[in-house]
């Protein structure tokens, strides 16, 4: 007779005030005993096979739509504008959106931006290379993704500052004091939507070689995205593709700073860039977990999950599962690819749409940083973002290195 998950005798994971490192080791320890534990919102899934199974089961719906409520947002105006985004869409609606937009996010589309990515990262290193010291977060990670998103979308260079300001304000949603900043966030979202509508109108009459044009042209069996869906997609690219990339770059460099031999190896063997990116994302991913709720009653492993049950699949703990990644606690950029991928980019139907772009951005940035910032060392203390916000990474990452030109 299957038993309800609520009747199981499970330990509770409540890590709200526990420092990040400690929280990770508590979770990893728990994973050796339990595949699922309680948390204040529902349950946390800890092992690779179970995290992957939940993410690949379409009956578990994305909890992104419930995030504003979970953050304590009650502003009726904000909640009322809750439009369906590709991240929160499910079923037919998601399948249709994904089918229409996926070709525009192909590896080839990302590859076309690689020379530009190198240009951007070099321009950010230029002012600090000869100094031999930098704050990796404010000097490199923060400014890196916005010009790339602008170039991807096809926003004219003259608008980059405006675009960057609006994106920054919209991204305050991840800052931790969202309640205070809600008016700024909503105003920026309105301005960004208006700006995007103009850009779409322009591209409809004058197509260019950019993502907006590709999304306008995207068509399958006579079906096309309408203007509101195009505006939503641009917003999803900004929200999904900016803070994630910055924080992942920060996590990756912080990790390398603790492993100088691996940093040096990346200089000698830049062909390892692709493996290095996957390994840093596996070992220290910026997106630590995600959220799902049961859209109907679900039975899994002989356990009943009533409709509405909230699950947090822990991508980070799953990425350290020894059953999938041999010697998972060792950071090794020469690691042979495992039989299954790391989960920092998700899995299943919501697998990161920008995965090729994200990987390309990191694959271009890391070898250039390694070459131009040799003998990288942490200079003082790293301060970290609060670990209870969705995307984790360093807030300040002061480093010294051997000056270069
Ligand atoms: C290192 C950087 C990145 C990381 C770690 C990351 C991580 C993720 C994860 C874990 C998901 C799935 C969430 C879930 O299933 O609940 C996701 C989805 C998504 N990501 Fe990324 N992402 C990154 C970069 C990007 C970039 C550069 C873009 C845009 C160009 C992007 C756009 C999206 C979108 C639109 C979705 C929703 C896809 C869907 O629901 O079908 N991401 N990302």
Mutate to test the pocket of ligand 1, among 153, 352, 353, 358 (most ligand atoms within 8 A of CB): 352
* Mean local confidence (pLDDT), 15-41: 90
For residue 30, what is the domain's CATH number?
1.10.630.10
Compute, in angstroms, the gap from residue 241 CA to the centroid of ligand 1: 7
> What is the overall mean pLDDT for the chain?
93
pLDDT in tens, 123-137: 999 999 999 999 999
Neighbouring residues of 401: CB distance < 8 A, sequence distance ≥ 6: 132, 133, 134, 373, 374, 375, 376, 377
- Tell me which residue has its CA closest to atom 30 in ligand 1: 354
Domain that holds residue 210: 3-400
Q: What residues does 391 pair with on adjacent strands?
A: 287
pLDDT-derived band of residue 103, with 50, 70 and 90 as boundaries? very high
Assigned domain for 203 exists? yes
Cα separation, 384 vs 14, whole angstroms: 19
For residue 252 and ligand 1, the question of a CB distance below 6 A is answered with no
Hunting for tokens 């068509």 — which residue is that?
A: 219
pLDDT in tens, 191-241: 999 999 999 999 999 999 999 999 999 988 789 999 999 999 998 998 889
Assigned domain for 319 exists? yes
pLDDT in tens, 86-98: 988 999 999 999 9
Assigned domain for 405 exists? no
SS3 156: coil
Neighbouring residues of 104: CB distance < 8 A, sequence distance ≥ 6: 211, 214, 215, 218
Compute, in angstroms, the gap from residue 305 CA to the centroid of ligand 1: 26
Assigned domain for 354 exists? yes
Contact assessment for residue 84 and residue 347, using Cβ atoms and an 8 Å cutoff: no
Phi and psi based region of residue 327 (left: phi greater than 0; alpha: psi -120 to 50; beta: remaining): left
For residue 377 and ligand 1, the question of a CB distance below 6 A is answered with no
Which ranges constitute the DSSP H helices of 287-347? 315-318
Domain count for the chain, please give it.
1
Distance from chain centroid for Cα 277: 14
For residue 286 and ligand 1, the question of a CB distance below 6 A is answered with yes
Of 286, 265, 272, 258, the C-alpha closest to 382 is: 258
Of 248, 314, 239, the C-alpha closest to 277 is: 248
In angstroms, the Cα distances linking 62 to 132, 312, 318, 343 are 44, 10, 18, 16
pLDDT-derived band of residue 82, with 50, 70 and 90 as boundaries? low
Exposure string of 255-284, with b = 16+ CB inside 10 Å and e = fewer, is bbbebeebbebbeeeeebbebbbbbbbbbb
Query: CA quadruple 304, 288, 97, 172: dihedral positive or negative?
Result: positive
Q: Tally Cβ neighbours within 10 Å of residue 27.
A: 21
Phi and psi based region of residue 375 (left: phi greater than 0; alpha: psi -120 to 50; beta: remaining): left
pLDDT in tens, 67-80: 777 777 778 777 77
Compute, in angstroms, the gap from residue 145 CA to the centroid of ligand 1: 14
* Two structure tokens written together for 318: 């799953």
In angstroms, the Cα distances linking 339 to 35, 54, 273, 323, 376 are 21, 19, 19, 10, 32
What backbone phi and psi angles, to 5 degrees, belong to 245?
-65, -45
| Ligand 1 atom with least separation from CA of 62 | 16
Compute, in angstroms, the gap from residue 343 CA to the centroid of ligand 1: 11
pLDDT in tens, 258-315: 999 999 999 999 999 999 999 999 999 999 999 999 999 999 999 999 999 999 999 9
Which ranges constitute the DSSP H helices of 154-297? 160-170, 178-205, 211-217, 227-241, 243-257, 260-268, 273-283
Contact assessment for residue 373 and residue 397, using Cβ atoms and an 8 Å cutoff: no
Of 10, 6, 5, 39, the C-alpha closest to 288 is: 39
Compute, in angstroms, the gap from residue 235 CA to the centroid of ligand 1: 12
Q: Which secondary structure element, helix H or strand E, spans residue 372, and what is its range?
A: helix 355-372
* Mean local confidence (pLDDT), 89-113: 94
Assigned domain for 84 exists? yes
pLDDT of residue 389: 66
């Amino acid at each position: 007779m299957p038993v309800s998950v609520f009747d199981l005798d499970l330990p509770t994971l409540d890590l709200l005030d526990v420092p990040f490192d400690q929280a990770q080791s508590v979770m990893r320890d728990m994973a050796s005993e339990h595949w699922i534990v309680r948390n204040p919102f529902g349950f946390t899934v800890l092992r690779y096979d179970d995290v992957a199974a939940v993410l690949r089961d379409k009956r578990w719906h994305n909890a992104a739509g419930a995030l504003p409520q979970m953050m304590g947002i009650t502003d009726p105006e904000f909640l009322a504008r809750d439009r369906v985004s590709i991240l929160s869409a499910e079923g037919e609606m998601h399948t249709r959106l994904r089918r229409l937009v996926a070709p525009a996010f192909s590896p080839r589309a990302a590859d076309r931006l690689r020379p530009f990515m190198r240009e951007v990262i070099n321009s950010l290193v230029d002012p600090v290379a000869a100094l031999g010291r930098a704050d990796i977060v404010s000097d490199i990670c923060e400014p890196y993704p916005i010009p790339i998103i602008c170039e991807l979308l096809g926003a004219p260079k003259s608008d980059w500052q405006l675009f960057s300001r609006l994106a920054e304000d919209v991204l305050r949603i991840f800052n931790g004091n969202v309640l205070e900043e809600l008016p700024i966030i909503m105003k920026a979202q309105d301005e960004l939507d208006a700006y995007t509508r103009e850009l779409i109108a322009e591209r409809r009459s004058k197509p260019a070689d950019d993502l907006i044009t590709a999304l306008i042209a995207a068509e399958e069996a006579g079906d096309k995205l309408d203007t509101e869906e195009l505006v939503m997609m641009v917003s999803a690219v900004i929200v999904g593709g900016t803070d994630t990339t910055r924080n992942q770059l920060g996590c990756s460099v912080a990790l390398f700073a603790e492993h100088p031999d691996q940093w040096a190896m990346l200089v000698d063997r830049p062909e390892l860039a692709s493996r290095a990116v996957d390994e840093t994302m596996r070992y220290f991913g910026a997106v630590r977990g995600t959220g799902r709720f049961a859209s109907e009653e679900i039975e899994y492993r002989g356990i009943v999950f009533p409709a509405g049950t909230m699950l947090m699949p822990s991508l980070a703990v799953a990425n350290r599962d020894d059953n999938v990644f041999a010697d998972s606690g060792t950071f090794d950029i020469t690691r042979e690819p495992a039989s299954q991928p790391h989960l920092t980019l998700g899995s299943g139907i919501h697998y990161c749409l920008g995965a090729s772009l994200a990987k390309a951005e990191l694959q271009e940035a890391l070898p250039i940083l390694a070459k131009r910032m040799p003998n990288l060392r942490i200079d003082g203390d790293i301060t970290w973002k609060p670990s209870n916000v969705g995307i984790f990474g360093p807030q300040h990452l002061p480093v010294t290195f051997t000056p270069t030109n």
